[in-house]
Amino acid sequence: MGSTSAHNNEGLGRRDLIKRSAALGLIAVPTMSFLSACASGDSGSDEKVDKGKKTEKNPLGVNESAPLEIVIFDGGFGTKYAEDAKAVYEKTYPKAKIKFSSTQKIRSQLQPRFNGGTPPDLIDNSGAEQMDMGVLVGKKQLTDLTPLLDSPSIDDPGKKVRDTLRPGIVEMGQFDGDPVWIMYYAYTVYGVWYSETALEKLDATYPENWDDMLALCAKAKKKGIAGWTYAGKHPYYLPFSLYPFIAKIGGREVLDKIDNLEPNAWSDPAVKAAFEAYYELFKKGYILKGTPGIDHIQSQTAWTQGKALFIPNGSWVENEAAKTMPADFKLAVGAPSGLDSSDKMPFGTIWASGGEPFIVPKSAKNPDGGMEQLRIMLSEASSKNFTQSVKSLTALNGGTDGIELTPGLKSATAALDKAGDNVVNPRLQDWYVKLQKEQIGVAGLGEMMAGRATPAETIKKIQGFADAAAKDQSIKHYKHQ
């Protein structure tokens, strides 16, 4: 979707769906042959270009005449934003010859090059053929990006790059400890999405606590409108609002225990309270009839048609549902309504995290150049260019001044401002794909929200799945530090 022309806008949804499907295990992940192949061959690592001289303008010591190779995933975000950033590199280092290419087949095109020790210098490792990050990290095939994070930012040399990033970005690039292996460039805000117009018609505002949520759903029901719908066939969308709701009730440490697969993490009172609140939506008939049988696109379409007020989703929904969204919809996102005044975290607590992972291979010839290109991309000018082109925020904290934001982006930005430090970033969906998608999602929450299991039964079942994952020696286990 890199172009701003309207007919390209539907691309982001599809691409994001593919990306998310890959992340959530709906699309085949790399096979063992890839994993073992990945481990071999590091022969190219001794052929690195000579380092350049570190100066104020060149803090990473880039070799100004060294060639640089960049490979970008060509999906819904397109490639124009990356080509524009490459042009800045060329202007800064006119002697450098840059090879720039894009593909949708990241793994099949780049795996042989990793094996041969001749990978590109910078890769946007995204899409259905994303290479498995845990494997690349585990096999020590990536460059630690700490020098980039500790270098001065382009707009304010008095500030390190790491101090210009949104909450959670640095942590997301870490696996077990300090090195940062991945720079997530896009930024997604998750929450409860709604139409301000629909609420105005009911003479209502977004509910900040659960009693007000239930009252609003009752009011809507009288007018023949459901309170909620969701991706019934993919119920792992429910956590986009449910996890931050749990954190709001019991504090972020409840989510950390869940991520860490601790015994009895799911029987925390905050989890019980949140599950019972959501189950009430089913019991009171506030969920759109037929929701358990529909997918994400069908649920979004029913919602844009005004059949339901609320839908748990991520900020990609603005592009994904654009074709069916009325012009006067006034798209907005709300942080999860709280339970009551005893909640541990304030209203505004929200889940937001990085997307579009960039990596610099360990055996890249010009790793400094790869990091310098990322430093350029994290400038305000490059960030604004991305946001204007593809309706998505970047990892840069800010970079939206003077841009005409779309309604959803404006609302997402306001939600982040309101959240301040109260941004949570559950890691289950990165660390334990099957547990999050099939077990907690489909077998757990999906069954509960369809009324086929009580909250108590669901908690017991999910805790069993988490305990089994904790004991499973075939998967790598991660922990919050």
Model pLDDT for residues 349-389, shown as the tens digit of each residue? 999 999 889 999 999 999 999 999 999 999 999 999 999 88
68 Cβ contact partners less than 8 Å away, ≥ 6 residues apart: 89, 96, 97, 98, 99, 121, 122, 366, 369, 370, 373
Confidence of residue 94 (pLDDT cuts 50, 70, 90): very high
Mean pLDDT of 166-190: 89
- SS3 letters for the chain? CCCCCHHHCCHHHHHHHHHHHHHCCCCCCCCHHHHHHHHCCCHHHHHCCCCCCCCCCCCCCCCCCCCEEEEEECCCCCCHHHHHHHHHHHHHCCCCCEEEEEECCHHHHHHHHHHCCCCCCEEECCCCCCCCHHHHHHCCCECCCHHHHHCECCCCCCCEHHHHECCCHHHHCECCCCCECCEEEEEEEEEEEEEHHHHHHCCCCCCCEHHHHHHHHHHHHHCCCEEECCCCCCHHHCHHHHHHHHHHHHCHHHHHHHHCCCCCHHHCHHHHHHHHHHHHHHHCCCECCCHHHCCHHHHHHHHHCCCEEEEEEECCHHHHCHHHCCCCCCEEEECCCECCCCCCCCCCCEEEEEEEEEECECCCCCHHHHHHHHHHHCCHHHHHHHHHHHCCEECECCCCCCCCCCHHHHHHHHHHHHHCCCEECCCHHHHCHHHHHHHHHHHHHHHHHCCCCCHHHHHHHHHHHHHHHHHCCCCCCCCCC
Whose structure tokens read 């990978």? 119
Mean pLDDT of 295-323: 93
33 pLDDT above the threshold of 60: no
- CA dihedral of 120, 126, 128, 133, whole degrees rounded to 10: 80
Mean pLDDT of 291-296: 95
Write the CA distances from 155 to 239, 273, 358, 380, 396, integer angstroms: 36, 45, 21, 7, 11
State residue 46's pLDDT score: 55
Q: Could you give the percent of the chain with pLDDT greater than 70?
A: 90
**Ordered structural domains, the chain, with CATH:** 6-188+353-424 (3.40.190.10), 190-351+427-471 (3.40.190.10)
Write the CA distances from 356 to 8, 82, 182, 404, 458, integer angstroms: 19, 12, 10, 23, 33
Tokens of 281: 């939506």
Confidence of residue 19 (pLDDT cuts 50, 70, 90): very low
- CA dihedral of 14, 19, 23, 28, whole degrees rounded to 10: 80
Contact 419, 333 (CB under 8 A): no
Mutual angle of helices 380-390 and 80-92, in 10-degree steps? 160
23 pLDDT above the threshold of 60: no
Distance CA 344, CA 341 (A): 9
Contact 121, 113 (CB under 8 A): no
The count of other CB atoms within 10 Å of the CB of residue 160 is 16
Tens-digit pLDDT profile for residues 423-444: 999 988 778 878 988 899 999 9
